[in-house]
Structures are given as structure tokens and as C-alpha cells.
Structure 1
């Protein structure tokens, strides 16, 4: 992956010096593809903003400008200019902005290995502090990128493995929360969508952060090397598994290769499963213009502004497909969660479409907890068991009077069965372990 990510940087540098100001023939007067949808469909900005960006996308991620090695290649000499360009464009257009990234083992400053451990920790935190002061309206931050595949070389200075096995990640998120308290904090990794073994390891990190209230989203890169030959069934199984953490999924770096017909077939096979999955909160592609993507044949728009077949299909699909997700709009729903705790100190959280809607502290008697919402998407009732002797019994969830019994649902990841946590097979009203009962789409 080092070679691949360096290739990203080289291509981005070329874009910075010679970006084409495309006047796309494909409808600059039209709104973004995902206008009015509960999920954004975003893309990257490199050195300059393509003139047709707002014809397609409604979220911005800087390709390389936000990486520490790009900002502070020379110690204490900060290059914010390219990042200013992307951030200010997002702000002026009302698009969500995601910083990419704070802590990463690739594209880190070359000088970081020559300073002491205490200085390394200081410098990492300083980068976060300066960033957050300069860009206070950042909505999302990839705090740690590729913790499994490309961990930071200076991780021991941040706590190393420690008691959790990932203390350096916990430290990074704690500092990001301190300095950017209003941003949603994300972790990001590649190879998750196609590798169940790596996925399970990743879920372990996510759950460590979730237990400490530090993570708001889990990123999966979905690059061509994971996607091109992936089956839709495998993708869904892995998305379903990751969604069991109860943390919203961000498809963060999507691209697929191929000639016109091959790329079209791949988007038709896989994109619907990403866009409509109830656990996926948002989707960001990784480039779209010919000659300005990090890998050949991942582009969706040619140099002359004409669209490849996959883009023509994508436009129609996104605009005409009704989905649930982390947004609002549509019919009001009266939701009832009927539950009790064994001690009266247990709390449960209702999450819809990846968004935490309401947390209730439970009575020891069966009680109806109600909320009215227009949110749509997958629904879960989640429990974090933070003390001994605590258990939750969920009788049902109802939607406008239609009852869904807890013991009849497809999964329960908080049930204690056969002497262990993590049964995950439903057929129980009880939550004893950290986990959730899934009640399906609303």
C-alpha cells in the first residue's frame, strides 16, 4: 500500500500544477446527484476545484492536502494553502467537509522519526490543535487512517499497544475530541469490505473506541483492489457484520476500474448494495476526472467533460432511488421501545439509519419509551453493560403501532449464550453483553 498511496500523492501533485478546468457537458445547471437524499455522495478535491464538482457531488474530502506530511513537511512550517482551498469551497457551497487525516503511517512528516518520543506526541497533538483552530466548522475527521495496514511509525510515543492493544489509537481519538469537540470522529481502513478476518480485527478496535464514547463513524475505503472482483453477497455479509457495532459506516474512498462496459457492470453490481445498506451513513468516491485519479480507468468523467457509462448510470440511479439512512425527511413515525432493566441503572440507545436518536435510562418494570421521528433506515436498540449485575429485557419495538417482537429478530449481538457473549443469532429478548438487537428497516 505504500507504493499505491505514494502514487496517489504523485498524481495529486500533477493535478495541482495542471488541473483542467472542465466545463462538463453533462448538466452543470443540475443539482448534485444526492440532493434531497439522507446520505451525501461526495468526492475529493486535490490542488484546485474542478468547475463541474458541484454538478455531481455534495461533500468534500481533501485528497492529500490534509495529510500531516503535506501540511508540515518541514517542522514548524505549515502549508495550509491547498487545504484552505478545499475547506473554503465546501463551506461556501454548504457541503460537509471531512478532514483526511491526522494519524497515519504513510505520508507522515519525514522528520518525525528524528525527534524524541515526548516530542513526537507533542507534535501530533500540535497538528490536531492547529488544524482544529483553523478549520472549526469541520464536520468529520479521519482521526486514524489504516491502523492495521499502515500504523503510525511513532505509535509507541502515543501509548503503543497498552492495556487495550490499541492505546495509541485511543490517545489519538481523545486528543481529537479535546481539540475538535464538535466534529464527528472517524477511523478509516482498507480491505475491510472483502476480508472477514481483517473485518473482525477492525471491529475490535471500533468497539474499544465506542465503549469510551470516542468514535462516531467507521470508514471503509472500498478501493478498486477490494471491489472490482467482489461479489455482492460477500459485500453485504461484511457490511452487515460491521453494522453490528452500531457505529455508522462511511464508505470513504470508493473507486472501480475497467473499460466502459466493465466499469459500468461493476457499479451496477455493487453500488446499490452500498447506497441502500441501512448501516451505511454516507459515500465518498476517490476521484472522478480522467487523468486526475490515482489509478488509471477509475475515472467517471473524461477530459472533455463527457461522461462514461458508469457515471450516466450512477446519476440516474442515485436520483431515482429512494433510500433510508442517516438523514430526515418523509413520513413521521411514532416509535415505541418497550423494555426494562434489572437494576434501574441500565441505559439503551435507539439508533436509526446509523444515527443515535435517543438514549433512555430504564425502569425496573416494563415501560414504553416513545419518540416521533422522520428518520429512515435500519433500526437497533443498543446496550453497553458497564457494571456487574446489569441486564436489559426488550419486549418489542413498534412503528406506528406495528409491533416487532425482540425474540423474533434477525440478530442479537448482546445475548449471553452457551457461556459466552456474542451469540448474534437473535431469538432472545435479553441483552447482557455489549451489543444490540436489530429491528430492521424503518
Structure 2
């Protein structure tokens, strides 16, 4: 027996309700592509350097893991980290970075096997004869490259071999072995990890000039000798006060014409502090121009910024009075340079955060002389339930949580964690949890800029 047919008035009502839902409920919005995704669409990667101490900063790690499709360990694969004592190797810190990249489906650029700096004293002051030093170098390269075999896309095999005038730097390796140490290192790396692309990397070679001529002549010579070399890294440590590199695109192209890949490997663009709107606008233009130069050369395979945030920049400690060099500020907020990079890569300006799978609303409900009360609403904007959540953020100032509710609250330095209570740990798709806290503060009481839920960056409002 067939069920009774609905009456015409009922059908009309159902149709009207369906039409109303279609008008009121907006369609799901596709996520804005990240810098890594925009670069990948053009056959490149867009990466960031990182360092192990930073990996305890959950909001930082959330952006690092979602915005970039390549990472470079800043220090954990250098000689002093991997072989601090002769024949005693340590890979734990490098392994940590590789594991992070694997979890986020990111490539890794290995940095660096042979460098005159950050050498343990037993190498730099060992006084070894040529035969022994060559054996030490080859053993180090072989052991480290073998350990990471199959896990790295690129290796900066030799780092910064040149003086500013294009002559070879007077390192312990050059002084004892001559320039042949470069070929020795490249051959050892190729034998240890045949799949990794092998690079020589240096700074102030970004434009045409004496130093880049020295690099060009070296690469040309190595190619003629049949020495394995796959790429040249142009670090890109630029400064507004010194001008943009001379004919950068032309310089990249001449190296590519030698039959090697080229990459921007350590990009940052510093300025004399304080930063202002004019300097930040110029910086944004430079980031765009570097990106366009790379995109114009078919063998320019990618760009890496030397960490993505001013919070962890090396610049202020090395160049006093200078800084603000990166596309994100100290509070992990995008700067004009970020939007310039998106536009140069073919995207549209804007922070992809609004399309994240979670949202956090932060509101100061009351404030007095030395304290305040804040309400925080955590929303699951994804399509599947979240079973067990952990919200992390960092205060920008001297705020300290003194009491919290509806979550387990803890704080270390500026970093705050709120873990679900036993009764609100499941967030269905579209569901929210309301939590809050009292806190003390001194100075200003600015709101946190970024939030992460279970390590994933959330939209903040």
C-alpha cells in the first residue's frame, strides 16, 4: 500500500521552507589557499625556517604547519649540533623537525653540512693535516646525510664559501684543503643520499656583482668537472637601507642557464627601527619583487623565509636597531608583506584564518585597575565532531590568568592553555564551548592575536 500523498498546501509549505533555508544559510566557503598552496599551483614551494625551541609555541606551530609547504631547520642539522664531539653524532633535534614536517606533509631543506661557522672547537681548532681533515669532512657529510637519507628534498651542502669580493673565504677547510673541499663535500653527499638535491648556499649573491660572479664561476667549474651539484641557494638577507639587489632576475637566470636549479633560501627584509607605514610598504614591495623574480625563472624552485615571524627573527640580536624583517609581526599577525606575497603568487590579499575549521571569540567583559575578566567562545567550524580539545594562545603583554572556569587553565610565561572539562570535551560540527577566566595585568591589556585548537590555527574575533 502506497503512503498517502501530501496535500498541495503542504507541498507548497515544504517548498517555501526549503527556499527560505537556501536563502538564509550561505553555502560553505572554500578555504583561501595558503602561501604554500599558491606556490604549489605555480610549481614552487613556499617555506619557512624554524628552530627547536620555537616548537613549544603552539600558535606559532599551528601557522608553521598550515601556511607553508616546506620547512628548514635553522640550527639542528649544523655541525655543532650533529657532531659536537668527534665521532659522536646526535640527531634528535633534526629528527624532531623532520617529524613535524612529515606530520604536515611538508618537504624539508637540510641546512647545512659544511660551514665555517658553528663548528665545534675540535674541528676549527684541531690543527689537522690535509689528509685527516678531508677524511673528517667526508665522514661527517656521509654520516649526517645517510641518517636523513630519503627524508630531505634539498641539502645546503656547502654554506657561505665566499668573501664579498668573490674570493674564497679563509675557513679552516679552504685554508687546509683549498677549494677542493667543496667538491669533496658534494661527492660525499651524493653517495650518501642520491635522491636529495645538492646546493651551495650564500648571502649577498642575490644580484649581479663580484660575489655572485665568484659563485657563478665556481658552479660553472664544478659542472665542467662532473661534480654533482643540483642547485644554488640565494639567501636573500636584504635591508631597505642598502637597496634592492641589482638585476636579481637576470642573476637568477644566468645560474639557471648553467643547468642548475635556483632557490631563495633565507629571505628576510630588515629595516632600521622603528618600523612605520612607509617602510612596511617598501618592504612589501620588495617581498613581491623577489617572488616575481623567482616566478619569472623556470628553474627557480621555491622561496624560504628565514622564519616567518618577527617573534623569532635573528635580526635584532645581530643587527642592533634593525628588525621587523618578516611577513608576520611579533604577535603572529600578518603584515603588509604577507598580502604582497599572496598577490605576487597569484592569490588575493587576506588572512586565510577566517576560513579555518575553528573560531575563537575573545571578549574582555570587565576591566579594572590591575585585572580583568574575559569570556572566550570556542566554535567547531568543521564538518566532523571534535572529541577532546585544547585551546592555546599567547598574551601579547604581562597578563596572567588567576582563575578560570569551564576548562582546565594553565600558563607558562605568556603561553596559555585551556583544556576541555570532562563535560564539554565533545564539540559537534557547528557547536561551541563557552569558557572564561580572571587575570591580572600591568601596562596595556591587548587581546591575543592568534589561537589554535588542537594545534590548528583558528579564526579569531
Provide TM-score, normalisation by structure 1: 0.60
Q: Which residue of 1 aligns with 2:142?
A: 129
Give the CA deviation at 1:225: 4.0
Aligned ranges 1:188-267 → 2 under 5 Å: 188-211=201-224, 212-225=226-239, 229-230=243-244, 234-258=247-271, 259=275, 260-267=280-287
Query: 1:182 aligned to 2:182?
Result: no
Contact 1:29 1:55 in 2 (8 A): no
Matching residue within 50, 54, 75 for 1:45: 50
Contact 2:138 2:184 in 1 (8 A): no
Q: Which residue of 1 aligns with 2:111?
A: 100
Secondary structure at the residue paired with 1:154?
helix
Aligned ranges 1:303-342 → 2 under 5 Å: 303-320=330-347
Contact 2:291 2:344 in 1 (8 A): no
Contact 1:222 1:251 in 2 (8 A): yes
Q: Measure, in 1, the Cα distance between the counterparts of 2:32 and 2:94.
A: 24
**Where in structure 2 are there 5+ consecutive unaligned residues?**
1-30, 56-60, 164-168, 316-322, 349-461
Matching residue within 161, 172, 182 for 1:153: 172
Alpha carbons of 1:121 and 1:227: their partners in 2 closer, same or farther (altered >3 Å)?
A: farther
Contact 1:156 1:168 in 2 (8 A): no
Secondary structure at the residue paired with 1:251?
strand
Contact 1:219 1:250 in 2 (8 A): yes
Query: 1:32 aligned to 2:59?
Result: no
Secondary structure at the residue paired with 1:219?
strand
Q: Measure, in 1, the Cα distance between the counterparts of 2:182 and 2:170.
A: 10
Deviations 1:98-136 (A, max 9, x none): 111111111112111225223322322222222123211
Query: 1:275 aligned to 2:288?
Result: no
Alpha carbons of 1:111 and 1:226: their partners in 2 closer, same or farther (altered >3 Å)?
A: farther
Secondary structure at the residue paired with 2:36?
coil
Q: Measure, in 2, the Cα distance between the counterparts of 1:279 and 1:36.
A: 15
Moved more, 69-78 or 246-255: 69-78
Provide TM-score, normalisation by structure 2: 0.57
Secondary structure at the residue paired with 2:270?
coil
Secondary structure at the residue paired with 2:157?
strand
Give the CA deviation at 1:218: 1.1
Q: Which residue of 2 aligns with 1:54?
A: 65
Structure 1 or 2, whichever has the larger Rg, is: 2
Contact 1:188 1:219 in 2 (8 A): yes
Alpha carbons of 1:226 and 1:74: their partners in 2 closer, same or farther (altered >3 Å)?
A: farther
Contact 1:228 1:256 in 2 (8 A): no
**Where in structure 1 are there 5+ consecutive unaligned residues?**
1-26, 161-165, 322-442
Q: Measure, in 1, the Cα distance between the counterparts of 2:116 and 2:241.
A: 23
Give the CA deviation at 1:276: 2.9
Q: Which residue of 2 aligns with 1:382?
A: none
Alpha carbons of 1:30 and 1:190: their partners in 2 closer, same or farther (altered >3 Å)?
A: closer
Contact 2:66 2:104 in 1 (8 A): no
Give the CA deviation at 1:280: 1.5
Matching residue within 105, 115, 122 for 1:111: 122
Give the CA deviation at 1:181: 1.7
Contact 1:61 1:97 in 2 (8 A): yes
Alpha carbons of 1:228 and 1:311: their partners in 2 closer, same or farther (altered >3 Å)?
A: farther
Contact 2:75 2:81 in 1 (8 A): yes
Q: Measure, in 2, the Cα distance between the counterparts of 1:77 and 1:173.
A: 22
Secondary structure at the residue paired with 1:143?
strand
Give the CA deviation at 1:156: 4.9
Corresponding pairs, count: 288
Contact 2:327 2:334 in 1 (8 A): yes
Q: Measure, in 2, the Cα distance between the counterparts of 1:187 and 1:175.
A: 14
Alpha carbons of 1:87 and 1:177: their partners in 2 closer, same or farther (altered >3 Å)?
A: same
Contact 1:31 1:55 in 2 (8 A): no
Deviations 1:16-48 (A, max 9, x none): xxxxxxxxxxx8995734243301111112114
Alpha carbons of 1:247 and 1:62: their partners in 2 closer, same or farther (altered >3 Å)?
A: same
Q: Measure, in 2, the Cα distance between the counterparts of 1:286 and 1:312.
A: 18
Give the CA deviation at 1:205: 0.8
Alpha carbons of 1:307 and 1:175: their partners in 2 closer, same or farther (altered >3 Å)?
A: same
Deviations 1:270-321 (A, max 9, x none): 4322333224122111111122011121122123332111112212432439
